[in-house]
Structure 1
Amino acid sequence: MRQFTAIVNPTAGGSAGAAALLRVARPLREAGASLETEYSRSLAHAQDLARQAGERGRVVLAVGGDGIAGGIGGALSGTGALFGLVPAGRGNDFARALGLPADPAELARVLLHHAPRPVDTIEVESAGHPRTVVLGSVYAGVDALANRHANHARLLRGAASYYLGGLRAVATWRAATYRVTVDGEEHAHRGYTVVAANSAYYGSGRMIAPGARVDDGLLDVVLIRAAPRRLFFTLMNELRTGGHIDRPEVRVLRGREIAVAADREIPCGADGEVDAVLPVTARVLPGALSMLC
């Protein structure tokens, strides 16, 4: 029987994390599993707790949103520790990519009985930030600015905060000139954003990279070129289905290592949390994380 250590992010939706864990804890304990709970004071503290639990042979559960999932998953990348998610944040995009069930009893069955699955992680190096490892995607441009606005939204949650953050970002954005290097080949790009995606989803359910797979050893690189603002708003709506990739303003590349620079200071984010600026380098770490999904 697996032994679990759940690490709760108290700031992910207020009490939502604790409530989500309670709903899953009951079927876990009824099945005879051991479950201990740790409350993190910060992302760094959550990562330390995760490493300690993994070293004791426990399954580490990240309870919260994509930020704590990416932070803890990154900390466990390459360690061999088993990792699981109890989604309780605004976006839950990596949980969506893994197909995790929303029903607590079904999620408990996954955590108790499913075999571990190796998934890829992303090693990230950016200006002014130490090396880090994340799970879902790295993005540089108007979406990073939108994410910054969403994170500071006090009255809105979930998809609404991301959508309004996007409107605010697009209204003030001017196209940037990027240098995008994929596996050593340089590509000129002028536009709104560059996204290196391990997961199909970002921004609370938006399917930025429909072809991305978490276990294929590659990153899908999505480039959205300069376009009239009204067309970009249309593209934003098409992100719900992934239909944007059929437009001529969108280009998709694939590779193992991506470097992105620009002609001015451009914000850069990852998994909804890393707030940095270009240049950035992202490289895939194939099968580096053992997940229950």
Structure 2
Amino acid sequence: MRQFTAVVNPTAGGSAGAAALLALARLLREAGADLHTEYSRSLAHAREVARDAGRRGRVVLAVGGDGIAGGVGGALSGTGAALGLVPAGRGNDFARALGLPADPAALARILLHNAPRPVDTIEVESAVHDRTVVLGSVYAGVDALANRHANRSRLLRGSASYYAGGLRAVTGWRAARYRVTVDGEEHTHTGYTVVAANSGYYGSGRVIAPDARVDDGVLEVVMIADAPRRLFFGLMNDLRTGAHVHRPQVRILRGREIRILADRDVPYGADGEVEAVLPVTLRVLPGALRVLR
């Protein structure tokens, strides 16, 4: 029977992380599994706990949203340890890409009985930050600014916080001039954002890259060009279904190594966390993480 260490973000989704684990924990223990719970004090602490549990052969459960999923998953990337996700945050986009159920009983069956399967991760390298590894996507532009606003929202949750954050960010945004190098070939781009996507989803269920797959060894590079604000709001609406990819303002490339620069300090984020500004270099790490799905 499997042994689990749950790493919980106690603030995810307004403390929904701890609540989500309660129902799941009962089911896992009734099935005979061992479960130990650790409440994270920070992403750095969550990574440390995850690595230690993984070294001891335990399955690590990331309980919360995309921030802790990316932090814990990144820490386990390349180690051979197995990761399980318990979605309980604002966005839960990587769990969505994996097709994980919200129902505790269905999720417990996956965690108890499914074999770990390899998924890709993203190595993130910046001149001013230590190398990190994340799971879902890296986004540079107005969406990073919107995500920063959403994370600071105390009144709104889930899609509502992202939509309100997006409105606030777009209002004051001016187009950035980017240089995007994909597998050695440079492309110029003026607009709202550049997204390197491993997962098809970001921003609480928005389908930024419909053709992205978490296990195909490449990243989808989605670039949204400058456009009148009214048209951009139409693009935002299209993100609900992925229909934006058919608009002429959207360009998509694919590659294994991507470098993104801009003409000013454009913020970038990854897996729901925004901590830095461009430039940044990204590399896909094929099959680097074992996930229960």
**Structure 2-normalised TM-score?**
0.99
Contact 2:60 2:82 in 1 (8 A): yes
Counterpart in the other structure of 1:183: 183
1:26, CA displacement in angstroms?
Answer: 1.3
Counterparts of 2:128 and 2:58 in 1: how far apart (Å)? Answer: 34
Contact 1:127 1:278 in 2 (8 A): no
Spell out the pairing of 1:36-55 with structure 2 (5 A cutoff). Answer: 36-55=36-55
Contact 2:177 2:189 in 1 (8 A): yes
Counterpart in the other structure of 2:56: 56
Counterparts of 1:165 and 1:198 in 2: how far apart (Å)? Answer: 23
Tell me which amino acid in the other structure corresponds to 2:192. Y
Counterparts of 1:77 and 1:25 in 2: how far apart (Å)? Answer: 25
Structure 1 residue ranges (4+ consecutive) displaced by more than 6 angstroms after TM superposition: none
1:162, CA displacement in angstroms?
Answer: 0.4
For structure 1, which runs of at least 5 residues remain unmatched after alignment?
Answer: none
Counterparts of 1:281 and 1:77 in 2: how far apart (Å)? Answer: 18
SS class of match (2:272): coil
Counterpart in the other structure of 2:222: 222
Counterparts of 2:14 and 2:251 in 1: how far apart (Å)? Answer: 38
Counterparts of 1:243 and 1:127 in 2: how far apart (Å)? Answer: 35
1:127, CA displacement in angstroms?
Answer: 4.1
Counterpart in the other structure of 2:16: 16
SS class of match (1:129): coil
Contact 2:196 2:220 in 1 (8 A): yes
Counterpart in the other structure of 1:288: 288
Contact 2:144 2:274 in 1 (8 A): no
Q: How many residue pairs end up in the alignment?
A: 293
1:99-156 deviation digits (Å, cap 9, x = unpaired): 0011100000000111111000000012421110000000000000101111111111
Counterpart in the other structure of 1:146: 146
1:23, CA displacement in angstroms?
Answer: 1.1
1:14, CA displacement in angstroms?
Answer: 3.2
Counterpart in the other structure of 2:210: 210
1:172-200 deviation digits (Å, cap 9, x = unpaired): 11111100000000001010000000000
1:8-53 deviation digits (Å, cap 9, x = unpaired): 1111123311110011111111111111101111110111000110
- How large is the Cα RMSD of the aligned pairs? 0.7
Deviates more, 1:52-61 or 1:120-129: 120-129
Counterpart in the other structure of 1:161: 161
1:292, CA displacement in angstroms?
Answer: 0.1
Counterpart in the other structure of 2:69: 69
Contact 2:7 2:49 in 1 (8 A): yes
Tell me which amino acid in the other structure corresponds to 1:58. R
Counterparts of 2:115 and 2:253 in 1: how far apart (Å)? Answer: 32
Counterpart in the other structure of 1:106: 106
1:225-270 deviation digits (Å, cap 9, x = unpaired): 0011000000000000000000000000000000000111101100
Counterparts of 2:189 and 2:13 in 1: how far apart (Å)? Answer: 37
Counterparts of 1:16 and 1:167 in 2: how far apart (Å)? Answer: 26
Contact 1:127 1:277 in 2 (8 A): no
Tell me which amino acid in the other structure corresponds to 1:201. Y
Counterpart in the other structure of 2:171: 171
Spell out the pairing of 1:106-125 with structure 2 (5 A cutoff). Answer: 106-125=106-125
Counterparts of 2:125 and 2:142 in 1: how far apart (Å)? Answer: 20
SS class of match (2:71): helix
Counterparts of 1:126 and 1:193 in 2: how far apart (Å)? Answer: 18
Counterpart in the other structure of 1:90: 90
SS class of match (1:117): strand
Counterparts of 1:291 and 1:198 in 2: how far apart (Å)? Answer: 15
Counterpart in the other structure of 2:275: 275
Counterpart in the other structure of 1:129: 129
1:69-90 deviation digits (Å, cap 9, x = unpaired): 0000000000000100000000
Deviates more, 1:87-96 or 1:13-22: 13-22
SS class of match (1:275): strand
Counterparts of 1:255 and 1:131 in 2: how far apart (Å)? Answer: 20
SS class of match (1:258): strand
Counterpart in the other structure of 2:252: 252
